[in-house]
Structure 1
């Protein structure tokens, strides 16, 4: 009798939760997008003009040229970044080089930095007064002017930005190789190049496609790098910023925003298809790859990884060095004056504390909301159609550039008729934008962890009259703690470095660190901007290290628990 009552009340709770989850996703994802879409078909006076805004955009050479520029930047970035990432991932998974852990750590460093930081580093190296441009101020017998401000600078900065993402995707793809195919190729007498073309490339082709679309989307929608090193070379992301912030032309900003979302949406759909096929290609019979000895191969890949890692470290070291130099390039003595932000456009240390506060709340709130959402969609047994709708809305933010989310939130939450209008201009609109911006990846992480749990837990609990809430707190959360920690640090780090999602939403008296970097760079305070970037990187590395420490403690505790169980048995 008790089990039956628990089962009935449980289903009522499940229906209420799935309804609440879908309603919340509609209010924070779909309805703002609908407002953005509608705004593009109206003029400044609120009159419906159909496709007039799009015709104006494409008939204005100065505006339409941005689309061509953005496509060029994205294609070049994708080709170079994916090629470098493929070789780097191959070196760390298919060769016997030493120092793999160090190379892997350096490859992931750009993830901890705002994209503006890569542009600032390139400015100090290749700008008008850069170390390479001036030949170390005449100390070297050569100098090299790469004409940084424009497509060259944007492409270089974007390559650094997207390289870690491509490397992670390709490294995972290569980890699932089936060595039996290589053994069969050896038996048939295939050479190294033949095996590479016939076995290696087909086995990782889905990973390559996925990496290409991810890199293309990130480069296509990025705002930070073009803002710092773009010069007069316009791209779609900076166009949106100019239309909305510079000219207060919200309708044209919405028009460009829709253009910005189309390639991202196509990439998202293709990536979903590719991911499903990639999972289907992995079988339980696959044999792990075995690395054979080859001194020539290892020597080549070691120096390749050394060159890539050296360039990434050079960029990081340049920014750190620049943040301590008094007046570049005239007074090269060291000091801490650039870390005093009170006399520059960054407005003191306030933006950094604001960013930390927003990142902490985003990490806590975002992790809780995302995990509960994933649990409700994955574990409830009612209203399958509504759960599928919830899943679609949960992964939809993966296709939304940050600037599109920011624009959509302006139109949706700045409407006085909206019952949530009170959020606009507060810290909570920034937190909500961050949670939605990074929701999809965290949701997929939570869903993956939940799928590993045996559904027998819930079924056994129901048969014994134990509520799902108790199972959730006593079983689900403890087992999924490593994934929850990863989600929290993911929200924190990305909230610290993001600029595109919040650049339209922050209040004048509540500026964030990433926004202050843009303000300082615009005002010519490049060294303080470098200093703020360094502080963000340090904080993010500390957060990452803390997450790894917590994960290690959890693994050790789990190992001890298993040992105790075996001893008792």
Structure 2
């Protein structure tokens, strides 16, 4: 959709796919790492000024109502919502039309994915499986890593190095990650070669691809907790894992749930990193949309896209209901006490 407006990510695609110039693609990839280094420096400066939200003197914040500002923001939100719903409505209409623009009668023939290119309904269920694995294992890995960075003692420069590496995926296009995984895992001499063309490599690449935002969400939540919790636990000779499970995890439950839904939704929709890594047995719905569109099956591609949307929306609703129940039991400290 960019037309003649070039960006580095699309230039990599042109160099590697269009001209088979892997060397220039690698050079452009390294140039993209420079903003990541700058972002890391800025992030560390900002974090030094951040203070804990939950301490022994913590008082829940009650923002005062401002009708003029609230109505202005409501109007703005409604305009944006109408725009988004309009895009989804057009896509849904295209998915139901039998043969646009000649036969505008509605039907569900475009949902017969097994008759189209792209992998059929297996692609859709593979995406759900991959997104579920990504949400579960990704959340565990991300939160554990963030805990070691923010609460780990005696790690010294290792914490800074890990924080820098956690910031890199945001600056690296998924296309570059996919190519890197091909070169690394496809080497016959690599002992991890068995992961190539499996569901595991899709899950790993997706977790790494969206690691940065999840990591920042987790570290922000952990910074809201006063370091005195760990100090008091150590003075009482309590193991760190007991403090982690009984204090840290309950307090950070909203952030943990947000990380899981973020990883799930992005895993359902991602294309760039996994487009080079899937096998005939691990085709994904997002890749199927691309393949069907390339084959001229635009309406079935729209139908598969809407299936992705409905799945993500359904999981988001389930996440909201689950969050309300869990937060009611673990976030009582956030509720202001009535005077």
TM-score norm. by structure 1 comes to 0.52
Per-residue deviation, 1:550: 1.6
CA-based RMSD of the aligned residues comes to 3.4
Distance change (3 Å), C-alpha of 1:469 and 1:288: closer
Q: Alignment partner for residue 317 of structure 1, among 69, 89, 96?
A: 89
Matches within 5 A, 1:228-267: 230=3, 236-241=8-13, 243-245=15-17, 249-259=21-31, 261=32, 264-265=35-36
Per-residue deviation, 1:266: 6.8
Q: Alignment partner for residue 272 of structure 1, among 39, 43, 47?
A: 43
Q: Distance in 1 between matches of 2:301 and 2:124?
A: 12
Distance change (3 Å), C-alpha of 1:237 and 1:384: closer
Matches within 5 A, 1:148-167: 154-155=1-2
Contact 2:146 2:218 in 1 (8 A): yes
Q: Distance in 2 between matches of 1:457 and 1:269?
A: 27
Per the alignment, residue 55 of structure 2 pairs with none
State whether structure 2 residue 158 is matched by structure 1 residue 386.
yes
Q: Alignment partner for residue 296 of structure 2, among 507, 524, 530?
A: 524
Contact 1:413 1:420 in 2 (8 A): yes
Q: Distance in 1 between matches of 2:128 and 2:75?
A: 38
Distance change (3 Å), C-alpha of 1:375 and 1:560: closer
TM-score norm. by structure 2 comes to 0.84
State whether structure 2 residue 257 is matched by structure 1 residue 493.
no
Distance change (3 Å), C-alpha of 1:332 and 1:269: same
Q: Distance in 1 between matches of 2:192 and 2:235?
A: 42
Q: Alignment partner for residue 470 of structure 1, among 233, 242, 245?
A: 242
Matches within 5 A, 1:179-190: none
Contact 2:250 2:330 in 1 (8 A): no
Q: Alignment partner for residue 414 of structure 1, among 157, 163, 186?
A: 186
Per the alignment, residue 219 of structure 2 pairs with 447
Matches within 5 A, 1:262-301: 264-265=35-36, 268=39, 272=43, 291=66, 293=68
Q: Distance in 2 between matches of 1:561 and 1:474?
A: 14
Per the alignment, residue 107 of structure 2 pairs with 335
Matches within 5 A, 1:431-446: 431-446=203-218
Q: Alignment partner for residue 482 of structure 1, among 245, 248, 254?
A: 254
Contact 1:517 1:533 in 2 (8 A): yes
What's the CA shift string for 1:90-137, capped at 9, x where partnerless?
Answer: xxxxxxxxxxxxxxxxxxxxxxxxxxxxxxxxxxxxxxxxxxxxxxxx
Aligned-partner SS, 1:544: helix
Distance change (3 Å), C-alpha of 1:392 and 1:233: closer
Per the alignment, residue 189 of structure 1 pairs with none
Matches within 5 A, 1:544-559: 544-558=316-330
Q: Distance in 2 between matches of 1:364 and 1:536?
A: 19
Q: Unaligned stretches of 5+ in structure 1?
A: 1-153, 156-229
Per the alignment, residue 200 of structure 2 pairs with 428
Per-residue deviation, 1:242: 5.1
Matches within 5 A, 1:72-87: none
Per-residue deviation, 1:457: 3.0
Contact 1:264 1:401 in 2 (8 A): no
Count of equivalent residues? 328
Matches within 5 A, 1:63-102: none
Contact 2:251 2:330 in 1 (8 A): no
Distance change (3 Å), C-alpha of 1:303 and 1:372: closer
Per the alignment, residue 138 of structure 2 pairs with 366
Distance change (3 Å), C-alpha of 1:390 and 1:293: closer
Aligned-partner SS, 1:524: coil
Matches within 5 A, 1:213-228: none
Per-residue deviation, 1:298: 6.3
Per-residue deviation, 1:276: 5.6
Per-residue deviation, 1:397: 1.8
What's the CA shift string for 1:432-475, capped at 9, x where partnerless?
Answer: 11111111111111112222233333333333332212222222
Per-residue deviation, 1:336: 0.5
Matches within 5 A, 1:197-212: none
Q: Distance in 2 between matches of 1:447 and 1:509?
A: 37
Per the alignment, residue 275 of structure 2 pairs with 503
Per-residue deviation, 1:237: 3.9
Contact 1:397 1:437 in 2 (8 A): yes
Per the alignment, residue 166 of structure 1 pairs with none
Contact 1:267 1:399 in 2 (8 A): no
Per-residue deviation, 1:364: 0.5
Distance change (3 Å), C-alpha of 1:425 and 1:252: farther
Per the alignment, residue 56 of structure 2 pairs with none
Q: Distance in 2 between matches of 1:385 and 1:270?
A: 15
Q: Unaligned stretches of 5+ in structure 2?
A: 52-58
Per-residue deviation, 1:263: 6.8
Q: Distance in 2 between matches of 1:235 and 1:395?
A: 20
Aligned-partner SS, 1:503: helix
What's the CA shift string for 1:48-89, capped at 9, x where partnerless?
Answer: xxxxxxxxxxxxxxxxxxxxxxxxxxxxxxxxxxxxxxxxxx
